[in-house]
Structure 1
Amino acid sequence: MPKPATPRGRAPAPSRARRAPPPQRDSMPREEAPKKLFRVAGLSAVSALFAHDAGRVERLFFDERLAPAVGGFCKALAAARKPYRMVDAEELAKVAGTVLHGGVVALIAPRSVPAFDAEEARRWAADGQPLLILDGVGNPHNLGAILRTAAFFGLPRVVVSDHPGQALPSEAAYRVAEGGFEWVDLYRAANLPAALKRLRGAYRTVGTALGQGRAVTDVATLARSNTPVAVVMGNEEDGMPPATQAACEEILTIPGTGHVQSLNVAATAAILIHALAKPVKA
């Protein structure tokens, strides 16, 4: 007897007797990482992730050389029923999207950047720590380098503006930060000039600009005050927008020999953070 015809435009119903086999722990794609997840490479960065927020790690790939070092990470993922796998160099480079992966790559759920609240920031001033604010720093490598320096010297917070060119957390920034994003709280400020004005009294707002304002040869003098400093740094090419510069109480520049035009923004940030950040107890 012939089978009844399937109505046009409707697919035949699947057989209930056939079910897809359950996924295996190591049955992960051998292509690039899913776009919804960040790829974080390098043992320092991955170690920081597991130390501070292991729940964000969704998958782990590593080469044979680092197998002993990531054993604890694998146990944590196994307990959370999340996949991990040792792979060869070629596959690890594909997963990482670069050969500069350091032997281990974690796929993580990106963390959102909370909104900056100037009133809450006024309460932060009680700890005496400076506040670093980036307005239009567009290179993700510079953002990563700045977060790495901030973490090294114990600066607890960094604020970025809503400038359209401002770099935000990305795979490139994470790679350069070497775990710095896990030690520093990052916030994003809307309407930065207005936010800077609301900080006055709690912070001394100081902008940095090339060849403008008062030359400072000993930036540590900025810390010799009962009021902590909020340092604002602008775009690598054009500096701070005029409205941001006008909202600062003071504009400073770090003088040099004149052999080159200026310092890289990440290098300038390192000088200022080293001079201003309060010592952190181990």
Structure 2
Amino acid sequence: MSGRRNGTDVGNPWNTRPPRPPGDRPDRRRPSRAPAPHEERPAGGSRDELRLYGLNAVQAVFAHRPEAIRKLYLVESRIPALKSLLAWCVKQRVGYRVVEEGDLDRLAASTHHEGVVADVLKAEPLPVADWLRALPERQPVAALWLDGVGNPHNFGAILRSAAHFGVAGILLPRDSTLALSGAAARVAEGGAEQVPLVRMGNPENAIAQLRGAGFTLAATVVRGGDDLFAASLPQRLVYVMGAEGEGMDTRLAAACDQRLSIPGTGAVESLNVAAATAVFLAQWRAAR
């Protein structure tokens, strides 16, 4: 079974045979050590591949883009939960290795891997024009424009909320460095595979394209906006979410059609961007 270096595995560390059923006694000799991140990077390099970790994150890739999976690492206790994925790896001759918990800690550079790590091909952001053409006609649509959001945990939480409320896309400015990471995908709990990322061009052109497709742009601001819970929300809406610290670009906020705020007690200055996003999306969904 697995990645243990027994007589049949020497010289072939990547297993493509079915895993041993959980009830069988495994080889108790020392398993081969999975390489640490600095020893082995995804085969296509950082530009083409991404190292994901977390059970829901990996299973979501398998459900939506199995062909993107390049390598799989798992602890023995995860074999039952990943039986279908392992069978697919055998059929497609995709290498997998059963390793120890500490090996996954090194591979993921995190202890929050939940027993599985995978190297997968990245899903490149869509051009905004292609995304707009693919949208369903005559149906309510919500999207998120992320202006300066950079924290991967906030990004992952935003992706999770976006998937939960049926957001059609995450719009990224032309010069945004925000990209899916292993940490963001784990926090998203599978949401990263549900919501497409969209790369915009020139901001003025992007705004014109969105308005031409029937969208209203709403700047989300801490103070001075219309009460979210009293406002009339349009059928096609883009919430523009600002950075965690400095907020959104003032010129972008001025170019939006609406300014919306979440009323509160004032006991704290504001919600963090991920929590605020969930509130805004819940209200849009409730209005439908």
What is the CA-CA distance between 1:194 and the residue it aligns to? 3.4
Separation in structure 2 between the aligned mates of residue 140 and residue 133 of structure 1, nearest angstrom:
16
C-alpha spacing 1:244/1:24, structure 2 compared with 1 (3 Å): same
Match of 1:188 in 2: 199
Q: 2:281 aligns with which of 251, 273, 277?
A: 273
> In the alignment, which of 24, 43, 62 is matched to residue 74 of structure 2?
62
Partner of 2:27: none
CA distance in 2, matches of 1:122, 1:88: 44
The whole-number CA distance in structure 2 between the counterparts of 1:176 and 1:95 is: 17
Q: Which runs of 4+ in 1 moved over 6 A?
A: none
Contact 1:136 1:163 in 2 (8 A): no
How many Å separate the matches in 1 of 2:154 and 2:51? 18
Cross-structure match for 1:115: 127
1:195-229 CA deviation, whole Å, 9 max, x = no partner? 1233236112111112123233x16x443x4x422
Structure 2 match to 1:34:
41
Task: Give the direction of change, closer, same or farther, for the CA distance of 1:133–1:25 in structure 2 (3 Å limit).
Answer: same
Letter in 1 for 2:58: V
Is 1:99 paired with 2:111? Answer: yes
C-alpha distance in structure 1 between counterparts of 2:78 and 2:53, whole Å: 12
Q: 1:114 to 1:245 in 2, by over 3 A?
A: same
Displacement of 1:234 in angstroms is 1.2
Cα distance in 2 for partners of 1:146, 1:124 equals 22
* Residue type of the alignment partner of 1:31: A
Q: Given that residues 131 and 198 in structure 2 are in contact (C-alpha distance below 8 angstroms), is that contact kept between their aligned partners in structure 1?
A: no
Give how far 1:129 is off: 1.5
Q: Determine the structure 1 residue equivalent to 2:26.
A: none
Q: Deviations over 1:221-276 (max 9, x none)?
A: 443x4x42211111111111122112101111112111111110011110111221
SS at match of 1:211: coil
Do the aligned partners of 2:220 and 2:259 also contact (CA within 8 Å) in 1?
yes
Q: Secondary structure at the match of 2:124?
A: coil
C-alpha distance in structure 1 between counterparts of 2:55 and 2:287, whole Å: 26
Structure 2 distance, partners of 1:118, 1:65, is 42
Rate the CA distance shift 1:271–1:44 in 2: closer, same or farther, 3 A.
same
1:9 matched residue in structure 2? none
User: What does residue 85 of structure 1 align with?
Assistant: 97
Structure 2 residue 243 is the aligned partner of structure 1 residue 235: yes
Quick check: 1:118–1:195 contact (8 Å CA) kept in 2?
no
Q: Is 2:14 the counterpart of 1:25?
A: yes
Read off the aligned partner of 1:63 and give its amino acid letter: V
Aligned amino acid, residue 36 of structure 2: E
User: For residues 119-145 of structure 1, what are the alpha-carbon distances to aligned partners after superposition, in whole Å with 9 as ceiling and x for unaligned?
Assistant: 936965632111221111111111111
User: For structure 1, which segment, 250-259 or 44-53, has the greater mean C-alpha deviation from structure 2 after superposition?
Assistant: 250-259
1:72 pairs with 2:97: no
Q: Report which stretch shifted further, 46-55 or 166-175.
A: 166-175
Root mean square deviation, CA, Å: 2.6
Change (3 A) 1:200 1:184: same
Change (3 A) 1:187 1:141: same
Residues 71-99 of structure 1, C-alpha deviations (whole Å, 9 max, x = no match): 11111111111111111111121112111
Residues 154/278 of structure 1: CA separation in 2 closer, same or farther (3 Å cut): farther
Query: Which of 1 and 2 has greater Rg?
Result: 1
| One-letter code aligned to 2:153 | H
How far residue 22 of structure 1 moved from its aligned partner, in angstroms, is: 6.8
Once residues 130 and 232 of structure 2 are traced to their aligned partners in structure 1, the CA distance between those partners, rounded to angstroms, is 21
1:197–1:247 CA contact under 8 A, matched in 2: no
Residue by residue over 1:59-79, the C-alpha shift from the partner in whole angstroms, topping out at 9 and shown as x without a partner, is 111112211111111111111
Cα distance change, pair 196–171 in 1 and its aligned pair in 2 (3 A): same
TM-score (norm: length of structure 1): 0.82
